[in-house]
Amino acid sequence: MFTQEELLTALGDPYTKEVVPRFHRFAYVSDALIDRLAEQALAEVWGRQRYVLEKYIAVHVPWSIEQGRFTCSDRQFYVTAGHLQTRYGTPIYLVFERNRVPGTSPYALVRVGADIAAPALPTPPDIPSAPVIPRGAEIVMLHDHILGDNAERVPYLADTPRVAQMCAVAGSIQWSLNRGLELPYWYYGKMSVLVPLYLQTRENITEAPDLVAPLQVNADSLLVRTVLLPSMPYANARVAVTRHDRLPPWMLAGWHAHAASATSQQIEDPEAPQAASAPASAEADPGGL
């Protein structure tokens, strides 16, 4: 049998930006099973090497374990593939066993499917709620990073004084919050908030914003760590909703346009400094079963 304590110990610290490597240290997952999961689930654009899908299960499987939403037999444990379903609305399950290859991940994914044989079927984990934004919270910006390191993302503010730039970003954040345009956003082991920034036009909020801003919600302030292009935070926003169509159309369109060029590093940590896209390289296979 498998205990929650055992599985949590194997998962390790949840507060990491390297979510997929953390999950690979927990369980061996073959490319073939990732492909099978993508084939069985409702069609989505998962990006190069289906890395967004890997990140999705790398977040949702730990949630299942943390919330006790797993079942087990004497040699296997079972979780749902997050909230993924087949085109017929049937939940998809993941089956894990102990890894028999010495010196590798302690567990291995051995089956993906909607028709597994388990003593009891697990239920999907609850997606944690985004933090409530306190009324009257001060907007605090890491301006050197937002308007200095990433100045190429806001070229239309290049000739604007620094204080005016900060006021423009802060005002755009408040405008979006007043209209309830914020989105749930998962980052560094916890839920946060993502806010679209309409800096050049606000005539149609169904169209893509100029930028999006991840907010760290504190007791009396909103910390703006960086600003991102609309396609950048897709993977982190995707794990925070039950289905991809729950995301705004502009985010889906932006992701579809850039999915083929986004690297695993950019998907893993969208807030890190972005290097030029390079061909994705396959990770070494650690072996399983």
Task: Please give the Cα distance from 132 to 214 (Å, whole number).
Answer: 14
Task: Please give the Cα distance from 77 to 180 (Å, whole number).
Answer: 40
For residue 261, the tally of other CB atoms under 10 A from its CB is 14
Task: Please give the Cα distance from 131 to 22 (Å, whole number).
Answer: 25
Q: Write down the pLDDT at residue 58.
A: 98
> Does the domain made of 138-240 have the CATH classification 3.40.50?
no
Nearest CA to 44 among 92, 10, 77, 78?
A: 92
Q: What is the mean pLDDT of each run of 10 residues along the chain (289 residues)?
A: 96 95 97 98 97 98 98 97 97 97 94 96 97 91 67 74 86 95 95 95 90 93 91 97 96 96 95 57 53
Q: Write down the pLDDT at residue 25.
A: 97
Q: Write down the pLDDT at residue 283.
A: 45
Four-CA torsion 151, 155, 157, 159, nearest 10 degrees: 100
Q: Write down the pLDDT at residue 286.
A: 54
Write out the residue limits of the CATH 3.30.2310 domain(s) in the chain.
138-240
